[in-house]
Amino acid sequence: MHVVPVASSRPLRARSALEKTRRRDDILRSAERLWLSTPYADLSMNQVAREAKLAKGTLYLYFDTKEELFLALLHEYLQGWFQRFGELLGAQRPQTPREMAATLTDALHDQGHLRRLLLLLTTVLRSHLAPEVEANFRRETQQLLKQAVSAMPYAPEINQQILVHCYALAVGWQQMAPTFGQAPHPEYQFVEGEAAFQLALEAVIERLAPRLD
């Protein structure tokens, strides 16, 4: 008797390099959708697998833990941000503290998802990460930072300090905004405070950087 195979709704295991890349991207997009609506602590790999319409075992072929998945998504956002920042540096060519602060503020505009992920970074790095996963994330982030530092107008050590202060101010502003009665959505929180953020960043750069006359 000839038996007609029943079609399965479960995605087949990706075989080619292109299929694996697409599957990995599907997983990241699924995690992204979940993190926009669910607190990080409440999320599980099971939820990500369901969102991506994958068997849990298939998900583990790409990411061993929720923390590893988080760092992969954050790194993707950081790549996009540093690319945007580099393009703005080339277009605006900032030379003064005010111009540098404006360029950084422009680069952070509409980056609420990135800032929300950055709020969680310390928590994730303090969790039970595999040493090689953390080392790889730090190495890739340092490479992005090095490229940005080399494109900025001041000495490398000053440029790096500016970016560190920018990170601290952006994350701090994101975290503080709800306490001042601003809108709960991350995008609105930052937009409401952009002028104040830029002013604070300008003061920092003014203190750190020499004049480029």
Q: Which helix (H) or strand (E) holds 156?
A: helix 156-176
Residue ranges per structural domain of the chain: 15-63, 65-208
CATH number listed for the domain at residues 15-63: 1.10.10.60
Residue 7: band (very low, low, confident or very high) from pLDDT cuts 50, 70, 90: very low
Residues 125-149, buried b or exposed e (16+ Cβ, 10 A)? eeeebeeebbeebeeebeebbeebb
Is the per-residue pLDDT at 28 higher than 90?
yes
Which class for 31: exposed (0-12), middle (13-18), buried (19 or more C-beta within 10 A)?
buried
Is the per-residue pLDDT at 83 higher than 90?
yes
For 65-208, give the CATH class. Answer: mainly alpha
Contact between 198 and 188 (Cβ < 8 Å): no
**DSSP state, 180?**
G
Distances (CA, A) of 20 to 12, 14, 24, 97: 11, 5, 6, 45
Q: Which residues contact 20 (CB under 8 A, 6 or more apart)?
A: 14, 62
Average pLDDT over residues 84-102: 95
pLDDT of residue 26: 94
Between CA 195 and CA 207, with CA 201 as vertex, the angle to 5 degrees is: 140
Q: Which residues contact 168 (CB under 8 A, 6 or more apart)?
A: none
Is the per-residue pLDDT at 105 higher than 80?
yes
pTM: 0.81
Q: Rounded mean pLDDT of the chain? A: 84
Residue 10: band (very low, low, confident or very high) from pLDDT cuts 50, 70, 90: very low
